[in-house]
Amino acid sequence: MTTQITPRARVCVLISGNGSNLQALIDACAKNEIAADIIHVISNRADAFGLQRAQQAKIPTSVLDHKAFADRAAFDDALADLIARCQPDWVVLAGFMRILTPAFVQRFLGKLINIHPALLPKHPGLNTHARALAAQDTEHGATVHFVTPTVDAGPAIIQGVLAITPAESVESLEARVHQLEHQIYPIALAALVAGDVHYAHGQAVWADSNTPKIICQPSA
C-alpha cells in the first residue's frame, strides 16, 4: 500500500506593519489548522514588525519599497513578479496598505484575499471603527474577501460580527475587531485551502451554501 501525501498549499503573505494577522496565520499553519505553509512574506516597508514575526518563524522575507518605483504600475509589476517567482497557491493581504492596480488584481484573481476591519459592504476604506460609531451601528466586525479591482468591494468569504456596546470607544472596538480578525482569517484560509469555498464569476461560492459564514462574538 502506498501512502498518499497531500501537498500543503503555498501561501505568500503581504504586509505593511504589525502583522498580528500574519502571526495568527503562522500559528494556525504550525498547528496544522490550515493545510498550508507560508512560504514568503513581503513588505513594502522595511520597518514592518511583521517581518520580525516571519523571521522568528523561519519564513523567508522580502522588502519591496514602493517609494523606489516611478509609479504604482511599476511597483505592482515588480511585486507581481516577485510573488509569481514564489509560486504561491494563495496570496494573502494582511494589513498591506497599498491600493493594487487592476492589472495586479487580475493576475491573481481568485487566489488573492484580504481582511478588512468592517462588515463590508459597510465602511470600505479607512477609519472604519470611528465611522461605525459615528453611524451608531449596533454591529461591527471584520470581513475576509476575495480581492477584485474595486477596493474593498470583492465578495465576502466570511465575516466576524460583534455587538457594539454602549460604552464602546474607537480603541475598544479596534481591539475587539482585531481579536475577531485573528479568529476568522485562519478559518477563511483553511476553507480555501480545503476547497470548501472558491471564487467564481465575482462570487465566493461555498460548497454547501452561497452565503458568507458568520461567526458571532459575544459582546464584551
Is 80 within 8 Å of 53 (Cβ atoms)? no
Quote the least distance from Cβ 22 to ligand GRF, whole Å. 6
In the complex with ligand GRF, the residue whose CB is nearer, 75 or 185, is: 185
Among candidate residues 62, 51, 61, 54, the one with its CA nearest the CA of residue 30: 54
In the complex with ligand GRF, the residue whose CB is nearer, 105 or 142, is: 142
Interface contacts to ligand GRF, rule CB under 6 A = 17-21, 94-95, 115-117, 142, 178, 181
In the complex with ligand GRF, the residue whose CB is nearer, 180 or 190, is: 180
Quote the least distance from Cβ 204 to ligand GRF, whole Å. 17
Quote the least distance from Cβ 179 to ligand GRF, whole Å. 11
User: Does residue 201 carry a catalytic annotation?
Assistant: no
Strands 156-163 and 197-200: unpaired
Give the torsion sign (CA, 21, 24, 27, 33): negative
Whole-angstrom distance, CA of residue 210 vs CA of residue 35: 23
Quote the least distance from Cβ 208 to ligand GRF, whole Å. 26
Residue closest to ligand GRF, measured at CB? 95
In the complex with ligand GRF, the residue whose CB is nearer, 115 or 162, is: 115
Whole-angstrom distance, CA of residue 111 vs CA of residue 58: 24
**Catalytic entry in 116, 123, 129, 182:** 116
Whole-angstrom distance, CA of residue 127 vs CA of residue 5: 45
Q: Please give the sequence-ordered ranges of beta strands (E in DSSP) within the chain, or none if there are none.
A: 9-15, 36-43, 61-63, 90-93, 112-116, 139-146, 156-163, 197-200, 203-206, 213-217
| 66: DSSP letter | G
Half-sphere exposure of 86 (CA within 13 A, CB side): 26
Quote the least distance from Cβ 18 to ligand GRF, whole Å. 4
In the complex with ligand GRF, the residue whose CB is nearer, 19 or 154, is: 19
What is the set of active-site residues? Answer: 116
